[in-house]
Amino acid sequence: MCGRMALTLPPAAMAQIFEAAPANTLPEGPNYNICPTNDVAVITGGPDQPRQMEAMRWGLIPAWYKKPNDGPLLINARAETVLEKPAFRSAVHDRRVLVVASGFYEWTKDAIGGRDPWYITRRDGAPLAFAGLWQGWRTPDTGETMRTVAALTVAANTPMQAIHHRMPVVIERADIGLWLGENGKGAAPLMRAAADDVLQWHRVDRAVNSNRASGPELIEPFQQD
């Protein structure tokens, strides 16, 4: 699962890393506490579409919703069932994107039920690229189209199971063109757990448990008093 993210670089710098042209509207950054319904940084592309980085609302809104809260908040999509779900099955064929971040958060519980946050990054220090699906949703009042996105998740690999039973699908640099459709078809095998040595994590302060918290201290290793 993936319920919070951090983007520690300016979005324009992230666009350069992924060789994408920055759109006129990019998410604000750095942002150390990206929450559902916030804008996230997304890379789009395709066989006839130059790679671009733009902002999308985190939380896919199916086309049939009359308003954004007409149903569940779809921040994640299970890769195992994505082809069966009406909200995702067309997107997985035609609207695949990358959700990019510096890291993401997950939680465990202590002996009395307190929520302990962990900050998860790549071991090699590179940005993370999550497999994502997007959907345009037309607002009834203005007729404008809002672009919304969900991140794909799979069963956690062995190390990650110590923190959570699910994890986001991490797309490796060599597979980006295939996931975006730039290099033809056959992206389904990419919907798998990352290798056991790809990710690392450390405890951070419970301050991040609040969706109002901000600042680089949120990702610093937790220091026990």
Residue 165's nearest CA partner among 189, 191, 193 is: 193
144 is known as an active-site residue: no
Q: Average pLDDT of the chain?
A: 94
Which residue is listed with tokens 């909200």? 87
Instruction: Say how far residue 129 (Cα) sits from the centre of its chain.
Output: 8
CATH of residue 103: 3.90.1680.10
Its domain, for residue 22, covers 4-219
The verdict on residue 34 lying in a domain is yes
The verdict on residue 88 lying in a domain is yes
Question: How buried is residue 170: exposed, middle or buried, by Cβ count under 10 Å (0-12/13-18/19+)?
Answer: buried
The verdict on residue 28 lying in a domain is yes
Q: What is the pLDDT of residue 158?
A: 97
| Residue range 59-68, pLDDT digits in tens | 999 999 999 9
Which residue is listed with tokens 């951090």? 6
Q: What is the pLDDT of residue 1?
A: 65
Q: What is the pLDDT of residue 140?
A: 81
Domain count, the chain: 1
The verdict on residue 225 lying in a domain is no
Query: Which residue among 2, 19, 28, 54 is the active-site one?
Result: 2
172 is known as an active-site residue: no
Residue 40's nearest CA partner among 110, 88, 97 is: 97
The verdict on residue 224 lying in a domain is no
Answer positive or negative: Cα dihedral of 167, 189, 56, 73.
negative
| Residue range 162-193, pLDDT digits in tens | 999 999 999 999 999 999 999 888 899 999 99
The verdict on residue 145 lying in a domain is yes
Given a contact cutoff of 8 angstroms between Cβ atoms, the answer to whether 25 and 122 are in contact is no
Q: What is the pLDDT of residue 113?
A: 87
Q: What is the pLDDT of residue 211?
A: 93
The verdict on residue 18 lying in a domain is yes
State pTM to two decimals: 0.94
DSSP 102-130: SEEEEEEE-TTS-EEEEEEEETT-PPEEE
Query: Which residue among 106, 144, 172, 220 is the active-site one?
Result: 106
| Residue 153 CB-half CA count within 13 A | 17
State the Cα–Cα distance between residues 88 and 189, nearest whole angstrom.
Answer: 17
